[in-house]
Each structure stands twice: as C-alpha cells, then as structure tokens.
Chains A and B, each alone.
Chain A
Amino acid sequence: MEDIFGIPAPLLFGQLLLGLINGAFYAMMSLGLAVIFGLLNIINFTHGAQFMMGAFAAWMLLEWAGLNYWWALLLVPIIIGFTGVVLERLMISRLYKLDHLYGLLLTFGLGLIIEGVFRNQFGSSGLPYRIPPELQGAWDLGFMFLPIYRGWVVIAALILCLATWLLIEKTRLGAYLRAATENAPLVQAFGVNVPRMVTLTYGFGVALAAIGGVLAAPIYSVNPQMGTNLIIVVFAVVVIGGMGSILGSIITGFGLGIVEGLTKVFYPEASATVIFVIMAIVLLARPAGLFGRA
C-alpha cells in the first residue's frame, strides 16, 4: 500500500470521493444562491431553511400521503418552489429598491422563523427517512465502499448543475435573464415581463434548494437545523466563487467539498473552519471572487 503524505493512498482516494459528495450539496445550494443573487440582487439567507423544508416535505409526502422518494423528487421542488414564488411576491419584491442589507435581514429573519416553527412542531433530534430500495446497497471500489445512494447524489447534482448552466448560458430564456441582470428597464422596453421573470427565477432557485433537501433526507437525519449547518458554508462558497457567477459556484462547490474532505484527514479539528480561511485569502487576493468580474 503506497502512502501519500503519510496517509495510505486508498484512504486518501476515499476521502477525495467523499469530499466530492459533500461538494455536490455545496454546488447545488450555491448555484441556487448565485442564480437568485445574479438576477434579484438579494442574498437569500432563507436558502438553508428552504433546503430543510425540502427534506421535511419529502418526509411528509412519504408519511402522510404515501408518496415515495421518486415522487418527492418530482413534487417537492414544485411545492417548495411555489412557496418561494409566494414569498417573493408578498415580501421580497418590496425590497428591490432598497439596500442589499434589507433583503439580507428579511431573508435571514424568515429563515429563523421557519426553522423555529419546524422545531416547535417536530423537535430537534430529527425524523428517519429511509434510502429508496432501488438505491440501497453499495459498490466495493477496492479502495473504499461507496453507497450507491451517495453515487446517485453526485450524479444527480452534476446533471442539475449542468442543466442549469445550459439553461442560463445557452437558451433564449437564459439570454433574457442575463440581459435583465445587466439592464432590466431596457429588457422590459423590449416587451419582456421582467417582474414575472424575477419571481420565477426566485422560485427556481428555491426549487434547487428543495431538491437538495430531498437528496439529503436519506443521508442526514431530517431535522430543523440541517439547513443552518449548511447555509453559512454555502454562502462562503458563493463568495469564493464570485457573487452571481453560475459556473464559479458549481466549480467552487465541488472544489471546496474536496478541500474540506482532505482537511478531515489531515487535521479534522479545522474541517469546519478551512472554508472560511480560504474565503479570507480569496477576498484579500481577488475581492470579486475566483470567477467573478471585478
């Protein structure tokens, strides 16, 4: 068995793979944040709560309606995305003319309220959600034992990220979106309904978080604080990638997952801090982020 930096090679490969899996969640979450920030100029701090709502919605569909994982994967983004649309229409849309800070405070507060309501209702130790039977079991890769479900998460996340990127960069709708980001009044003058597009974009970003929640439900316990643990890290990922950069948030998400995975081998005590250290360094060297335009 060969050693790399004093760590057996199989263990290291295993950790790289696990890092990639966590990176998949970071990428999916930061993608939603980036899409929302790009068009709405809102830093959506409710994102973690919406991720959690996605997981809970999957649990409710299973327990209360008897709908399995695959139905959840289809229905939850629609349901939670719709709550996002309502939220945008009722509250967030009133803040576009104001400073960023107001949007941040509103979404932050909403996130706390939603989390509190769920904790009051369901407690803190979480609810069990089983891995769907089709994805149970594991592959033996030689250097490690990879649960099929985790492999599925990486593939699903890659497909989602790629599809979102294509949608925004390569389609006409995406072109409208990007144009509206640059100059909304001009796009509106061409007859595009910008406010509706903005609303739907927020709903789309929220739906991405909800899918993340469904994917996470079988891995973590479905509990109200599951989003809290994630949102600050994901926010750091978005900052490192460059605010509003789609490709940046995808690549940074996966990359930082790997960095964090390696930290868990070499110095586990720092695994929760390493991303913020990188964020500080990136902000000093490239304030606009790795992929952002200054």
Chain B
Amino acid sequence: MTPTRRSLLTATVGATLMPALPRLGRAQAANTIRIGVLNDQSGVYRDISGPYGIECTKQAVQEFGDKGFAVEVISADHQNKPDVGANIARQWYDQGVDLIIDVPTSSVGLAVNNVAREKNKAYINTGSATSDLTGAQCSPNTVHWMYDTYMLAKSTGGAMVKAGGDSWFFITADYAFGHALERDTTNFVRAAGGKVNGSVKYPFPATSDFSSFLVQAQASRAKVIGLANAGADTVNSIKQAAEFGITRRGVKLAALLMFLPDVHAIGLQTAQGLVLTESFYWDLNDRTRAVTERLRPRLRDVKPNMASIANYSCTLHYLKAVADMGVAASKASGVDVVNRMKAMPCDDDAFGPGSIRADGRKLCPSYLFEVKSPAESKAPWDYYKLLQTTPAEEAFRPMNEGGCSLVRS
C-alpha cells in the first residue's frame, strides 16, 4: 500500500482518536440500545453516507419514539481501512454497543463482519457492495441492506448488454469491492453472450488520473467500459472519459456503482445520459418524497441517496425487532435479534415493503435510472428518470447460488 498522509496518521494517531464512549450508569445502560454508525467521514466515500448517514439514523430513532427503552447513536470514522474499522468495531462491541451499521468500503465491511460474528452482536451493513457478505462470507449476525454487486451488475450490466453493448473492458478498483463488482458483471455479460476484452486493476485509493486506463480501454475496441469503482474515483473516470472524447466515439460508459452525490459532483452537462442503478431515489414516489421532506431539517440542501437513507430504514427495522423481543434478550445475542428481524416483514417510506432472507439479504426492488440532461432538470437534485424496475424477488442473487452456509444447513 502506498503511504499517504492519512495512513501515516492512522498508525500513530488512530488509536488515540478512538471515540470515547460516555460512561452510563449500570441500570441505565441495561435499558439503553446503542447503535454505532461506522463509516467514512473524511475520505472518498464521505458524501455518500458519512455525516448524512448519521443524521438519517438519528431521524429513525426520533420517528421510532419512546417504546420503553432509550436509544443512543454514536459514530466513528473508519478511514476506509480494514484494520481501523475492525479495531473500532471490537472496542465498541466490548463497550456495550449492540448494533453496528453502515460500514462502506467492502474490505472494511468484511472485516467488521468477522468481528460481529466473533462477539455475537448484530451487524447491518448498508454501505459495502460486495455480494460476498451474503454469499461465501455470510454470517448469522449480519444483514446486508439495500444493494450489492450482483444487483448492480444485473440491473446496469444486463441493461447495457441488452442495448447492444456486448464487448466490455473493466477499470477496476483493486480491492474486495472492485473485484466482486467486476466478477458479478462479467458473469452477466458472458451469460448474455457478450465477451470481456480485458481489464485493469488500479491502486485504491491512491489513483486520481484515469486517462491511461481509459486509453487502454479504448484501444481494446470494447463497446462498453465498465467502471468497477465508486465515489470520487467514478467521478474522475467519467470526467476524464468525457475529456478524452471516449463517449463521443460511440463507446458507452457503464458506471456500475454511482450514487446521487456523484452525479451532483460531475454535473449534468457531463453526466447526462449515463445509466445507473439505485434502490432509492428521493423523487420516486409519494413515500420517498415524504421521508425526504422529513429529513430536510437534518440534511439541509443535500438529498438522501440509497446509502445514507438505508441507515434510516435498517435502524427502524432493528428497533422494531428489539421492541418485539425485549431489550435484555436483544442485548444477549446478536443472532437472536437478526433472526427476529428476518422473521418480521420490513416496511418503511424509503424502500417500501420488503423482507430479509435466511442468508441475510434484505430484498427491495432495484431501479435503473438515466441521468437527465441539464434542460430536463427542473430543480436542484432533479437528476434521474426511471427506465426500468426490477422487482425485489428478482433483483438479487438467488439464495442457492451464493454459497452461503446458512442456506445449506
């Protein structure tokens, strides 16, 4: 790994910056559910959830109201580093945190997955994309919320192949997430009769110039350049592809994972016409508009995207399960809470009705959007038009194909 200023700091300051937990009296602690929001608050994925994800969590707690127990929300920055994330998770669980949520960056998400299982605590991942969380590395303590690489590959990748993009070149972030996204998309491209002309894996997060990879992709004569990356990397890739005239020459860009704030950062002038997949859009229906309106005092000028609002959705569902089975029982076993969550149907304004499968996969519809042109956009954050909806039962990988041990037993 390249030493960056942040990694230098992590080594020295990381330990001392660990969030200090307020010490509660024993009686009070026994009746308080503690939720830890662990995400990126200072790096490339900050704007996707970060401070907004924390606010969405607090909104869920507020809307849930008083059901005879207190709820406390704490947060920390994992800096996209698996070691930092696992350390904070371990410390939190030891100090009485009952649930950890969010955790973007798949490498960190998988590390925390192991810690939650070891400590028998509850873990709801909303930020990581890797489909391994409900596949080879699935855990009885873990629920994976609103998306994964399989769902993105199926929706965006499937649509691109159907539209004639039958040869692909991947530009892939060289870590767990990028690998999973490339793998899952490759499967769909091949299954649809397309071929993969090549791929490059670039160092994450130390890369900001993608021109070299874009030119290589162009030289491969692929019809579609698949961007298996996220956040600021996707923003830079798309900006630079426009600069090098790649899209004007008929090559299509497949932004396999793109969030609303990314579109905001690129600007509609460059982003128009891109297709992408999210499981939430603030202007989708009356319920999504209502929850967005309720969140406005907390998020101010920013609209929620599927990642930040997933924290709202999963917190509500978790608290319902806790209220159902009692605080003491939920504190005693993470597996029991997660099982109770799986047994209860989900419903909230953000994702609508849904359910959680035995392998920990939360089911919700996925939506294929096209980015509007500047002329079509009527207001700030009016960015998407809906192209296609994949129903919840078809959006995700069938349970028997994931290789999850919970399913076989």
Contact = CB atoms under 8 A, between A and B. Distances in A.
Nearest to B243: A147
B386 interface: no
B381 interface: no
Interface residues of B, number: 50
Contacts of B46: 119, 123-125
The interface residues of chain A, by DSSP majority, are classed as helix
A273 interface: yes
B245 A265 contact: no
Nearest to B44: A124
Given A221-B232, A221-B236, A268 B201 contact: yes
Contacts of A19: 212
Nearest to A223: B232
B6 to A, nearest CB: 7
A55 B198 CA distance: 35
Interface string B41-71: 0111111101000000000000000000000
Interface in A116-137: 116, 119, 123-128, 130-131
A223 B234 CA distance: 13
Interface string B243-270: 1111001000000000001101111011
A250 to B, nearest CB: 20
Given A11-B216, A145-B244, A226-B208, A123 B47 contact: yes
B45 to A, nearest CB: 8
A221 B239 contact: yes
B270 A128 contact: yes
A204 to B, nearest CB: 24
16 contacts: A11-B215, A18-B211, A21-B211, A112-B9, A125-B44, A125-B261, A126-B265, A128-B267, A130-B267, A138-B243, A219-B209, A219-B240, A232-B3, A271-B212, A272-B2, A276-B3
Interface of B: 2-6, 9, 42-48, 50, 174, 200-203, 205-209, 211-213, 215-216, 218-219, 231-232, 235-236, 239-240, 243-246, 249, 261-262, 264-267, 269-270
Interface of A: 8, 10-11, 14-15, 18-19, 21-22, 45, 48, 108, 111-112, 116, 119, 123-128, 130-131, 138, 144-145, 147, 149-150, 219-221, 223, 225-226, 228-232, 261, 264-265, 268-273, 276
